[in-house]
Structure 1
Amino acid sequence: MHGEYKVPGGKLVVVDLEVDDGLLRDVSVSGDFFLEPDEALGVLSGALDGVPHDAGVSRLVTVLDDALRLALDQGRILGPVVTVGFDTRAVALAVRRALGLSTTWADHEIAVLHPGPMPPAVHAALDQVLSEELDAGRRGPTLRFWEWEEPAVVIGSFQSLRNEVDLEAAARHGVTVVRRISGGGAMFMEAGNCITFSLVVPGSLVDGMSFEDSYAFLNQWVLGALADVGVTATTTGLNDIASPAGKLAGSAQKRLVGGAVLHHVTMAYDIDADKMLDVLRIGREKLSDKGTRSASKRVDPVRSQTQLPRAQVVQAFLAHFRARYRTVDDELRPAELARAHALVETRFSDPAWTARVP
């Protein structure tokens, strides 16, 4: 079995191995990295012999690190081990890729979905449905852009309803409140004033990554798409995307038991800050780590930086994603829509779910 892992900004690590009775055998580590002393390469390869084939990344890293320390203590290698352009985690990921347990974008075809306007609760339900469909093997990875008609606040799975939303103000402005299955903060959304999309991928694509690493990894293409429309952006904190002018977007994730990873992003295009502040209870504590004094400064509309219509920005995003990854244009299936509407009735429009954290 053969696996390769290119360290971002670093070097290529290659692993060839066999599996015998569930154990790794004849492991060979190679690549264009730099390693001193030379003898450390043999230690890395030999350390993995006999390790269970289903060992996770953290276990593999521990085995490799322990083997290097022991070899140094026993004098089998002289001097400290220096790795340049890679580390033991990169070796572990190459092993997982050789075994087919860790995948790359190139291993997947992503279905691109861009249905018409739907109620916010249906969109929240579709996140659950498409994640479950991937887990069940009935559908592959998907990228789905949201369109809707009425304004909405979509709160995180663990947020307090009354702490986050002024329900009287929401009713006054005709704002629907929906709770989603992922964590994170509240999203204030208006039709035509923000850009929202959901990405559902198998856990193998983010195998071995911390939550922080997986956010940056799954948002990487978004930075490229923003560059295409003239916006220089970076990932900030755990789950935000920002430009030098301020915050552009927030993202959230949910990892299902079956392995599917739901990752979605809401990006401000031209948000009505006054309405948002009237509806959302954004406290001083939440703003304190953002370095701002007013919540309106947290929203930096894409419109002001691109001078492009929202539809044109969305099309640019879609074009960038299609050019970067292997995609197929697709549509929601009748069974998926039926399941989503059923979940709206039993969960996403049910006050017991929306106010599950009062």
Structure 2
Amino acid sequence: MLSAATAGNHEAFSMAASQIEAAAEEGHAGALSVLAFLSGAGMTRPASRSRALLLHKLAADAGDLQSKMALAYSYFRQEMYEQAATLYAESAKATLSSLISKMPPIKIIERFKIYSGTEENKEALMKSRGEYDDDFQITEYQAQRGNASAIKQRFTSFLLLQAREFFELAAANKEFGGHYYLGLLYLKGIGVKKDVIRACYFFLDAVNSGQTNAIYQVAKLFQKGICVKRNPHMAVTLYKVVAERGPWRSLSRWALESYLKGDLGKALLLYSRMAELGYEVAQSNAAWTLDRYNEQSICIGESGFCTNAERHLRAHAFWWQASEQGNEHASFLISDPYYYGGGEHYSPHASKNTYAW
């Protein structure tokens, strides 16, 4: 399918979609998830929100995490925060497992908005900064590689080396990983008297520095109403931040590399997939690509390449989603009566009902 998108060959794309549909009929979770994506976007088949949701539900029940992300984002947009929190929590937990299991810790990829005025400066787009999880994760990584006895022995030895003082020293030196692990000690009562309130303060300090583990812990606190007022909306917002740092984030790097190589079809397809999972940067990049480039072959519609109407509907839906997530540029565009429809107001309801979910 990606090769067909690169070649701009809608017949090959349709054939690949048929093969995926056949695999989905046999219950393949990944195929169900991709088929849901195609159905929701209206690629090689009529756009159907209800069918897409059903397929994502089947894929999620079969364990597909990307479908769980897509469903969670759909619930989030519908303000169904309890359901969204449950699904985002599962994806967030998987994200933490993936971060711990990698040595060295994974590199966080810069989120590039290709429409922000730097698209002509490819060197600027190629630059990314590395952010690595704190060194304390090595302890968890090592423990996960041993048996129960080894884990207990390692942790006991760790406590014998005045672990708490070490974390306090780290925290005093603004190493916020220290704040997170102090919070964990007080939350569990390990080596100290259990103090949930104090744990919350340490977690909140770590959250302010962007510590992924701490964000997850605070999301749980808001979800359960522990030491803070129960707030499902805040829980979802924080779980979403963690979940979006999962392995599927690599699609962003893949999409950017495709864009830089001039492979617009593949870039658009990958950004569209990420947009469905709820990534704001992907929503705005997909919308900008549809608006910026007029090559018919980069956009696959219901039957063949996108018509102008399909292209505008899809772009507007992406801008609308991005605006809901705080993108000011997107908000400006969807409020501009001349941006769509030749000067007439472009109805958001038609777009939302068709694509934006």
Note whether the superposition's TM-score is higher than 0.5: no
- Tell me which protein shows more strand as a share of its residues: 1
TM-score tier (shorter): under 0.3
TM-score, structure 1 as length reference = 0.25
TM-score, structure 2 as length reference = 0.25
- Tell me which protein shows more helix as a share of its residues: 2
